[in-house]
Amino acid sequence: MRLPLGVLLMVAAALAGPLPREGPEVPFQFKHHDNKEMLDLLQQVHKRCPGITRVYNLSETSVRGVPLSVIEFSTHPGLHKLREPEFKYIANMHGNEVLGRELLLKLAHYLCEQYLSGDQSIQKLVNLTRIHLMPSMNPDGWQLATETGAKDYLTGRTNNRSVDLNRNFPDLDRIMFSNEEHHIEHNNHLLKQLDRLTEPMQPETMAVMKMIMSTPFVLSANMHGGDLVANYPYDASRSGSMSEYTTSPDDQTFKHLALAYSENHATMSNPKRSGCGYDGYNFGKQKGITNGAAWYSVQGGMQDFNYLSSNDFEITLELGCDKYPKAEELEKEWENNKDALLHYIWQAHIGVKGVVRDAKTRRPISNAFIHVRNLTDGCEKNCDINHDITSVHGGDYWRLLTPGVYEITASAEGYEPVTQQAAVTLTPESEAQKLDFWLGQPEFDEPVSGFDPKLYRNILKWVQKKN
């Protein structure tokens, strides 16, 4: 039978998610917001959209005491929702590279206003994704760059202790490459192997590290300036060379992610545009993307730290030749980047996602390993993608993958591994395919010390055959 129009509208509203309460309208001006104006604007956006936003500060302040603030967009601010991916943008890591800072302020304003106006695409994005925007990781550097005229290529790059924050993260590439060399299979969450730091850790670095470790991010990007290109892992070269293409196990996926931004940017992938830098090279000839180490090797960078310490896939966005563009250019830069900013967030939904549970108790299993073999095109050897991700506290996981056929195995201590095949497709602006795992305990789930149940079963089969 036909349902009344009123009932249909109620169902549609329920599926779309609740509309937030509306606060006072927030005017937005394209300008260089100072540190106080930046924090004030985040609070204004929150007051405008209190039902879908939260403003929070990281655990540490900058060296000079400026809060490191983040605005979150979600239909359940402050809470992780089962199977919902977490995404982050971080800008202004180098204080004199400011475009990303202004883009994220405008993006926060845009998401709020478009959600309120009934934009179905934005509502769907916010309803399905928990989005974290951090306009400035280095407000002290921004202050110095601005006070000195914003024209020097290096002034303000570092924090207030003259430390480059993008060289200050633990060097997990060194550990990963050593594991490869010594045939050690440990290929993820490498912080437990860290044995030394190359320099004291800065408060801004520590704050972001705690953020990464406490939130199950799936995808992120950090924003820089000085060129126009999407840069993907690895950032550090495997051999120690200053410049050498250094593949990660997820090279194919990272290329897809970088292209997702560059090809939706107004000019980044244009092979005929002007280049940047002293040599004027145009990365548009490479579709606007580059492997980080192939460009130049970086140790202690945030991009590779995300990938090797957590489940988070991160790329680096160089947003333009001019590190500190004029205020009158900001609106044009927003138009250049808007589609790419939104499209890239949607990439948190590619591949597969699911929940790993105990088959008997139905309880979620955290820290289960998700291992993938790529069977696309009939792969017979070297099919393993040697970068496992893990399920989080609710048992949920997300594995970013490009279209293809995969064999996916979930395993956890005390359980028999389970393997399933998945044919991954790519549907724009849609959730990742769901693939849940139910793990059962082995027959001998409480072995005595030194007793291997699998070996015992094999011996028992051999004895039975002999008899």
Which positions are catalytic? 318
Q: What is the distance between the terminal CA atoms of the chain, rounded to a whole angstrom? A: 69
Q: Tell me phi and psi for residue 21, to 5 degrees.
A: -65, 145
Query: What is 31-73 written as a DSSP string?
Result: S---HHHHHHHHHHHHHHSTTTEEEEEEEEE-TT--EEEEEEE
Q: What angle do CA 281, 304, 268 make, to 5 degrees?
A: 30
- A 10 A CB-CB count for 30 gives 16
Identify the CA nearest to 258 among candidates 336, 315, 339.
315
Query: What is 180-222 written as a DSSP string?
Result: HHTT----S-GGGG----SSPPPHHHHHHHHHHHHS-EEEEEE
* Cα dihedral value 267, 271, 273, 275, nearest 10: 110
Calpha distance 387→185 (Å, rounded): 9
Q: How far is CA 347 from CA 67, 267, 426, 447, in A?
A: 29, 20, 10, 43
- For residue 88, the cross-strand partners are 132, 220
Q: How far is CA 53 from CA 19, 27, 103, in A?
A: 12, 17, 18
33: its two tokens? 């917001």
Identify the CA nearest to 343 among candidates 279, 261, 236.
261
232: its two tokens? 């993907």
